[in-house]
Protein backbone atom coordinates (compact mmCIF):
# COMPACT_ATOMS: atom_id res chain seq x y z
CA UNK A 1 0.00 0.00 0.00
CA UNK A 2 2.86 2.39 0.78
CA UNK A 3 4.32 1.89 -2.69
CA UNK A 4 1.21 3.11 -4.48
CA UNK A 5 1.37 6.76 -3.39
CA UNK A 6 4.83 7.53 -4.93
CA UNK A 7 3.73 5.83 -8.14
CA UNK A 8 0.54 7.85 -8.29
CA UNK A 9 2.46 11.05 -7.64
CA UNK A 10 4.90 10.20 -10.44
CA UNK A 11 2.07 9.53 -12.90
CA UNK A 12 0.33 12.78 -12.02
CA UNK A 13 3.60 14.66 -12.41
CA UNK A 14 4.13 13.21 -15.88
CA UNK A 15 0.56 14.01 -16.92
CA UNK A 16 0.87 17.60 -15.74
CA UNK A 17 4.17 18.06 -17.58
CA UNK A 18 2.72 16.52 -20.73
CA UNK A 19 -0.35 18.72 -20.53
CA UNK A 20 1.76 21.81 -20.13
CA UNK A 21 3.88 20.84 -23.09
CA UNK A 22 0.79 20.35 -25.28
CA UNK A 23 -0.90 23.65 -24.29
CA UNK A 24 -0.54 26.39 -26.98
CA UNK A 25 1.67 29.33 -26.15
CA UNK A 26 0.50 32.95 -26.13
CA UNK A 27 2.20 33.40 -29.51
CA UNK A 28 0.33 30.42 -30.94
CA UNK A 29 -2.95 31.81 -29.65
CA UNK A 30 -2.22 35.23 -31.15
CA UNK A 31 -1.35 33.71 -34.52
CA UNK A 32 -4.51 31.60 -34.50
CA UNK A 33 -6.61 34.62 -33.58
CA UNK A 34 -5.03 36.70 -36.35
CA UNK A 35 -5.68 33.93 -38.87
CA UNK A 36 -9.29 33.68 -37.72
CA UNK A 37 -9.79 37.45 -38.04
CA UNK A 38 -8.27 37.38 -41.53
CA UNK A 39 -10.67 34.61 -42.55
CA UNK A 40 -13.60 36.58 -41.16
CA UNK A 41 -12.52 39.71 -43.01
CA UNK A 42 -12.19 37.74 -46.24
CA UNK A 43 -15.66 36.23 -45.82
CA UNK A 44 -17.13 39.66 -45.06
CA UNK A 45 -15.47 41.14 -48.14
CA UNK A 46 -16.87 38.33 -50.30
CA UNK A 47 -20.33 38.85 -48.81
CA UNK A 48 -20.19 42.60 -49.48
CA UNK A 49 -19.00 41.95 -53.03
CA UNK A 50 -21.92 39.58 -53.67
CA UNK A 51 -24.34 42.13 -52.20
CA UNK A 52 -22.90 44.88 -54.41
CA UNK A 53 -23.16 42.66 -57.47
CA UNK A 54 -26.75 41.89 -56.55
CA UNK A 55 -27.53 45.60 -56.11
CA UNK A 56 -25.93 46.39 -59.46
CA UNK A 57 -28.02 43.68 -61.11
CA UNK A 58 -31.13 45.14 -59.46
CA UNK A 59 -30.24 48.65 -60.66
CA UNK A 60 -29.88 47.34 -64.19
CA UNK A 61 -33.57 46.43 -64.02
CA UNK A 62 -34.66 49.90 -62.81
CA UNK A 63 -35.77 52.26 -65.61
CA UNK A 64 -33.57 55.28 -66.11
CA UNK A 65 -36.51 57.67 -65.66
CA UNK A 66 -37.16 56.17 -62.20
CA UNK A 67 -33.60 56.89 -61.09
CA UNK A 68 -33.49 60.35 -62.68
CA UNK A 69 -37.06 61.65 -63.22
CA UNK A 70 -37.67 64.14 -66.05
CA UNK A 71 -37.61 67.82 -65.18
CA UNK A 72 -40.72 69.95 -65.78
CA UNK A 73 -41.10 70.85 -69.44
CA UNK A 74 -43.67 72.57 -71.65
CA UNK A 75 -45.97 69.56 -71.34
CA UNK A 76 -46.13 69.62 -67.54
CA UNK A 77 -44.55 68.19 -64.40
CA UNK A 78 -43.62 64.58 -63.63
CA UNK A 79 -43.94 62.18 -60.73
CA UNK A 80 -42.39 58.74 -60.24
CA UNK A 81 -43.87 55.89 -58.24
CA UNK A 82 -41.93 52.81 -57.12
CA UNK A 83 -43.49 49.91 -55.24
CA UNK A 84 -42.92 46.29 -54.28
CA UNK A 85 -45.47 43.54 -53.68
CA UNK A 86 -46.07 39.84 -54.12
CA UNK A 87 -49.26 40.73 -56.05
CA UNK A 88 -48.90 42.17 -59.55
CA UNK A 89 -52.13 44.19 -59.39
CA UNK A 90 -51.31 45.62 -55.98
CA UNK A 91 -47.79 46.63 -56.94
CA UNK A 92 -48.96 48.74 -59.88
CA UNK A 93 -51.72 50.36 -57.84
CA UNK A 94 -49.24 51.29 -55.13
CA UNK A 95 -46.80 52.66 -57.70
CA UNK A 96 -49.52 54.84 -59.30
CA UNK A 97 -50.61 56.20 -55.91
CA UNK A 98 -47.04 57.11 -55.09
CA UNK A 99 -46.61 58.79 -58.48
CA UNK A 100 -49.76 60.87 -57.84
CA UNK A 101 -48.44 61.89 -54.43
CA UNK A 102 -45.16 62.87 -56.06
CA UNK A 103 -47.06 65.00 -58.60
CA UNK A 104 -48.78 66.87 -55.76
CA UNK A 105 -45.44 67.46 -54.06
CA UNK A 106 -43.88 68.68 -57.29
CA UNK A 107 -46.75 71.07 -57.91
CA UNK A 108 -46.45 72.53 -54.42
CA UNK A 109 -42.67 72.80 -54.70
CA UNK A 110 -42.72 74.49 -58.10
CA UNK A 111 -45.34 77.10 -57.20
CA UNK A 112 -43.91 77.85 -53.75
CA UNK A 113 -40.34 77.97 -55.04
CA UNK A 114 -41.22 80.43 -57.77
CA UNK A 115 -43.20 82.58 -55.38
CA UNK A 116 -40.11 83.07 -53.21
CA UNK A 117 -38.42 84.69 -56.23
CA UNK A 118 -41.59 86.35 -57.48
CA UNK A 119 -42.52 88.14 -54.25
CA UNK A 120 -39.33 89.99 -53.39
CA UNK A 121 -41.40 93.13 -53.18
CA UNK A 122 -40.93 94.10 -49.57
CA UNK A 123 -43.93 92.19 -48.29
CA UNK A 124 -41.69 90.37 -45.80
CA UNK A 125 -41.21 86.80 -44.68
CA UNK A 126 -44.55 86.65 -42.88
CA UNK A 127 -46.47 87.25 -46.12
CA UNK A 128 -44.40 84.63 -47.91
CA UNK A 129 -45.03 82.12 -45.15
CA UNK A 130 -48.77 82.77 -45.42
CA UNK A 131 -48.56 82.20 -49.15
CA UNK A 132 -46.68 78.91 -48.73
CA UNK A 133 -49.33 77.82 -46.26
CA UNK A 134 -52.04 78.75 -48.78
CA UNK A 135 -50.29 76.70 -51.49
CA UNK A 136 -50.09 73.72 -49.15
CA UNK A 137 -53.81 74.00 -48.33
CA UNK A 138 -54.61 74.25 -52.04
CA UNK A 139 -52.60 71.13 -52.89
CA UNK A 140 -54.12 69.19 -50.00
CA UNK A 141 -57.67 70.27 -50.84
CA UNK A 142 -57.75 69.32 -54.52
CA UNK A 143 -57.84 65.88 -56.02
CA UNK A 144 -55.15 65.42 -58.63
CA UNK A 145 -56.97 65.10 -61.95
CA UNK A 146 -55.87 64.97 -65.55
CA UNK A 147 -52.67 63.04 -64.87
CA UNK A 148 -51.54 60.48 -67.41
CA UNK A 149 -49.23 57.50 -67.30
CA UNK A 150 -46.24 58.16 -69.54
CA UNK A 151 -44.21 55.03 -68.77
CA UNK A 152 -44.67 51.94 -66.64
CA UNK A 153 -42.59 48.84 -66.10
CA UNK A 154 -42.69 45.76 -63.91
CA UNK A 155 -40.10 43.12 -63.15
CA UNK A 156 -39.63 40.20 -60.76
CA UNK A 157 -36.84 40.01 -58.20
CA UNK A 158 -36.56 37.24 -55.60
CA UNK A 159 -40.18 36.23 -55.94
CA UNK A 160 -41.58 39.76 -55.65
CA UNK A 161 -42.88 42.24 -58.21
CA UNK A 162 -41.25 45.64 -58.56
CA UNK A 163 -43.46 48.25 -60.23
CA UNK A 164 -42.38 51.59 -61.71
CA UNK A 165 -44.74 54.29 -62.97
CA UNK A 166 -43.96 57.67 -64.53
CA UNK A 167 -46.87 60.13 -64.55
CA UNK A 168 -47.27 63.57 -66.04
CA UNK A 169 -49.63 66.36 -64.99
CA UNK A 170 -50.15 68.96 -67.71
CA UNK A 171 -50.11 72.68 -66.96
CA UNK A 172 -53.63 72.93 -68.38
CA UNK A 173 -54.82 70.41 -65.78
CA UNK A 174 -53.02 72.32 -63.03
CA UNK A 175 -54.62 75.55 -64.18
CA UNK A 176 -58.10 73.97 -64.12
CA UNK A 177 -57.53 72.75 -60.57
CA UNK A 178 -56.40 76.22 -59.58
CA UNK A 179 -59.51 77.82 -61.10
CA UNK A 180 -61.68 75.52 -59.00
CA UNK A 181 -60.20 77.15 -55.89
CA UNK A 182 -60.39 80.78 -57.04
CA UNK A 183 -61.92 81.85 -53.73
CA UNK A 184 -58.97 80.59 -51.67
CA UNK A 185 -56.60 82.91 -49.90
CA UNK A 186 -53.55 83.59 -52.05
CA UNK A 187 -55.31 82.62 -55.30
CA UNK A 188 -54.12 85.69 -57.24
CA UNK A 189 -50.52 85.20 -56.18
CA UNK A 190 -50.67 81.47 -56.96
CA UNK A 191 -52.06 82.22 -60.41
CA UNK A 192 -49.33 84.77 -61.06
CA UNK A 193 -46.63 82.36 -59.87
CA UNK A 194 -48.13 79.60 -61.99
CA UNK A 195 -48.09 81.85 -65.06
CA UNK A 196 -44.47 82.70 -64.42
CA UNK A 197 -43.65 79.00 -64.08
CA UNK A 198 -45.08 78.25 -67.53
CA UNK A 199 -43.31 81.21 -69.09
CA UNK A 200 -39.99 80.27 -67.53
CA UNK A 201 -40.19 76.66 -68.74
CA UNK A 202 -41.29 77.68 -72.24
CA UNK A 203 -38.42 80.18 -72.46
CA UNK A 204 -35.96 77.53 -71.26
CA UNK A 205 -37.30 75.07 -73.84
CA UNK A 206 -36.92 77.62 -76.65
CA UNK A 207 -33.34 78.39 -75.58
CA UNK A 208 -32.50 74.69 -75.54
CA UNK A 209 -33.98 74.20 -79.01
CA UNK A 210 -32.06 77.18 -80.41
CA UNK A 211 -28.77 75.97 -78.93
CA UNK A 212 -29.42 72.49 -80.25
CA UNK A 213 -30.07 73.88 -83.72
CA UNK A 214 -26.88 75.94 -83.66
CA UNK A 215 -24.82 72.90 -82.64
CA UNK A 216 -26.39 70.85 -85.42
CA UNK A 217 -25.55 73.54 -87.97
CA UNK A 218 -21.99 73.81 -86.70
CA UNK A 219 -21.59 70.04 -86.91
CA UNK A 220 -22.96 69.99 -90.45
CA UNK A 221 -20.56 72.68 -91.51
- Note whether 94 and 81 are within 8 A (CB): yes
**Comparison of pLDDT for 153 and 158, the residue scoring more:** 153
Q: Tell me, what's the pLDDT at 146?
A: 82
**Comparison of pLDDT for 215 and 180, the residue scoring more:** 180
pLDDT in tens, 118-137: 445 445 565 556 656 666 66
Strands (E), the chain: 77-85, 148-157, 160-169
- Of the ranges 11-25, 28-42, 122-136, the best mean pLDDT one: 28-42
Local structure of 10: helix, strand or coil = helix
Does position 12 have pLDDT exceeding 60, yes or no?
Answer: no
- Of the ranges 10-14, 36-40, 70-74, 149-153, the best mean pLDDT one: 149-153
Whole-number Å distance between alpha carbons of 174 and 192: 13
Q: How far is CA 191 from the centre of its chain?
A: 31
CB-CB neighbours of 57 under 10 Å: 10
**Which domains, from first to last, does the chain contain?**
63-203 (3.10.28.20)
pLDDT category at 34 given cuts 50, 70, 90 is confident
Does position 54 have pLDDT exceeding 70, yes or no?
Answer: no
Q: Tell me, what's the pLDDT at 218?
A: 59
pLDDT category at 221 given cuts 50, 70, 90 is low
**Comparison of pLDDT for 119 and 82, the residue scoring more:** 82
Instruction: Print the SS3 string covering 42-101.
Output: HHHHHHHHHHHHHHHHHHHCCCHHHHCCCCCECCEEEEEEEEEECCHHHHHHHHHHHHHH
**Comparison of pLDDT for 213 and 208, the residue scoring more:** 208
**Looking at the chain, how many residues does it have?**
221
Maximal CA-CA distance, the chain: 119
Q: Tell me, what's the pLDDT at 8?
A: 47
**Comparison of pLDDT for 2 and 101, the residue scoring more:** 101
Amino acid sequence: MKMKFPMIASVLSVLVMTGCASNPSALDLAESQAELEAQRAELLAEKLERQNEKLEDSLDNVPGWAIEPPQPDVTGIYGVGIAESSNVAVVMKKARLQAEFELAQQMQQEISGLEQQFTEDGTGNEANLRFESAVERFVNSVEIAGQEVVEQEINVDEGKYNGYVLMRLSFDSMERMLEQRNSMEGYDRMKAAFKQLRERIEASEQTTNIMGGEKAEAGGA
